[in-house]
Amino acid sequence: MKRGGEQYIIEMKIWHGNEYNSRGEMQLVGYLEEYHKKTGYMIRFNLNKNKQIGVHEIVIGDKMLIEAVV
């Protein structure tokens, strides 16, 4: 998404377990590499009753992922 000359890389996923989650994070890292960005954003939809909602940072190599779990 581009706004005011800035570009943001955003990925949305539905929670389907840890392995699927890791693949989604690596997919976002790939997009960041492709667009020469250091920070990306992930919105994770978790339908589990006992989920832990919130926002946290994940560092993978030299990339920062900001993930919001809802």
Residue 65 within any structural domain of the chain: no
- Alpha-carbon distance of 42 to 11, in angstroms, equals 5
Residue 64 is assigned to a structural domain of this protein: no
> Which of the two residues, 6 and 65, has the higher pLDDT score?
65
Q: Decide if 13 is inside a domain.
A: yes
Domain for residue 14, yes or no? yes
Sheet holding 54-60, edge to edge: 10-14, 39-45, 63-69, 54-60
Residue 69: inside a domain, yes or no? no
Per-residue model confidence as pLDDT tens digits over 5-64: 788 999 999 999 889 999 999 999 999 999 999 999 999 999 888 888 999 999 999 999
Whether 1 is in a domain gets the answer no
Overall domain count for the chain: 1
Whole-number Å distance between alpha carbons of 29 and 59: 10
For residues 36 and 9, the answer to whether their CB atoms sit within 8 Å is: no
Q: Tell me, yes or no, whether 66 lies in a domain.
A: no
Token digits of residue 18: 């840890």
Residue 2 — very low, low, confident or very high, per pLDDT cuts 50/70/90? low
The token duo for 25 is 């994070």
In a domain? residue 19: yes
Domain that holds residue 11: 6-50
